[in-house]
């Protein structure tokens, strides 16, 4: 309970927050307003000041405190320094970039045998690892048959790359020229669309792969 200097009990209750000015009878409202003004800071309240002596001590203490020196700039410091990065995403540019990426991937992979490495373990001393890639969606199996595997599709199946429709196999081939074809679902023979083809003597075409010490080439 707030103790006022001889206020009326109802004014006391006003100061205690139990009543509002409206709750007071008209004859007590002036006393209530005066009581409130005496305890609440108003615009006329004077600013709190400090003595000049106190101010001087504080400022002296601040001047005496050593100023932090900037550390020499190092590469590590530059690398680990926090920076503000602002990224502005532009949907059209992002879509174009994604399209370009997909197009590049397809151009790289579709039906394009490519050399991936030069002879390693398991290959003959002169053999070169050659990767064959075929884009054939919605088929159950793809195999490779050619002069290098006795035209036996069972020896060289291609593996699917997930659900992308891309099939690949990598195998060591000796330098020279090889004829081959892909076998789709064990029945359909398909020459490599990315390679030159020659007559197979049976009314169809075989693809031609040239392997040199520098790799496999579809011509």
Partner 1 sequence: MRESAIALLLLSGVSTALHGQAATPARLEGRVTPAVAEAVRAIADSVARTGLPVGPLYRKALEGGAKGVPADRIIAAVGTVASQLAQAAKALRSEPVAHDTDAIEAGGYAINAGLSAGQVADLARGNRPPQAVAASLRSAGTLAALGVPPAQAVALVHQWIAAGRSPDQVLLLPQQLQAAMARGASPAQAANGIAHGGQPGASGDHPEPPSHAQDRSHRP
* Closest to partner 1 by CB, 46 or 219: 219
Cα 176 from Cα 211, distance rounded (Å): 5
Which stretches of the chain are DSSP H helices? Answer: 9-15, 26-39, 52-64, 75-80, 91-109
Q: Please state the closest distance from residue 95 (CB atom) to partner 1, in A.
A: 27
Helices (runs of H) and strands (runs of E) counted in the chain: 5, 10
Q: Please state the closest distance from residue 122 (CB atom) to partner 1, in A.
A: 23
Going from the C-alpha of 68 to that of each of 73, 77, 83, the distances in angstroms are 15, 17, 21
Q: Please state the closest distance from residue 141 (CB atom) to partner 1, in A.
A: 15
* Closest to partner 1 by CB, 12 or 179: 179
Cα 58 from Cα 91, distance rounded (Å): 56
Burial class (CB in 10 A: 0-12, 13-18, 19+), 14: buried
Phi first, then psi, for residue 38 (nearest 5°) are -75, -20
The answer to whether 148 and 181 are in contact (CB under 8 A) is no
The answer to whether 132 and 168 are in contact (CB under 8 A) is yes
- Please report, as ranges, the residues that interact with partner 1 according to CB under 8 A: 145, 147, 150-153, 176-177, 189, 196-202, 204, 206, 208, 210, 212-214, 217-219
Q: Please state the closest distance from residue 103 (CB atom) to partner 1, in A.
A: 15
* Closest to partner 1 by CB, 97 or 176: 176
* Closest to partner 1 by CB, 135 or 189: 189
Q: Please state the closest distance from residue 74 (CB atom) to partner 1, in A.
A: 41
* Closest to partner 1 by CB, 35 or 173: 173
């Amino acid at each position: 309970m707030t103790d006022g200097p001889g206020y009326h009990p109802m004014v006391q209750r006003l100061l205690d927050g139990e009543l509002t000015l409206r709750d007071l009878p008209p004859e007590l409202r002036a006393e209530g307003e005066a009581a409130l003004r005496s305890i609440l800071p108003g615009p006329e309240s004077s600013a709190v000041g400090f003595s000049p002596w106190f101010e001087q001590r504080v400022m002296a203490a601040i001047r005496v405190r050593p100023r932090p020196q900037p550390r020499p700039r190092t590469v590590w410091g530059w690398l680990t320094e926090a920076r503000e990065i602002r990224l502005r995403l532009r949907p059209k540019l992002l879509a174009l970039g994604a399209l370009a990426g997909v197009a590049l991937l397809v151009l790289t992979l579709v039906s394009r045998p490519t050399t991936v490495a030069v002879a390693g373990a398991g290959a003959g001393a002169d053999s070169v690892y050659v990767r064959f890639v075929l884009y054939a969606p919605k088929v159950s199996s793809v195999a490779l048959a050619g002069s290098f595997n006795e035209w036996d599709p069972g020896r060289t199946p291609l593996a699917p790359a997930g659900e992308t429709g891309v099939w690949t196999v990598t195998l060591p081939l000796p330098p020279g020229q090889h004829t081959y074809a892909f076998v789709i679902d064990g029945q359909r023979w398909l020459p490599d669309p990315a390679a030159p083809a020659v007559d197979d003597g049976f009314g169809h075409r075989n693809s031609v792969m040239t392997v040199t010490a520098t790799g496999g080439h579809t011509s």
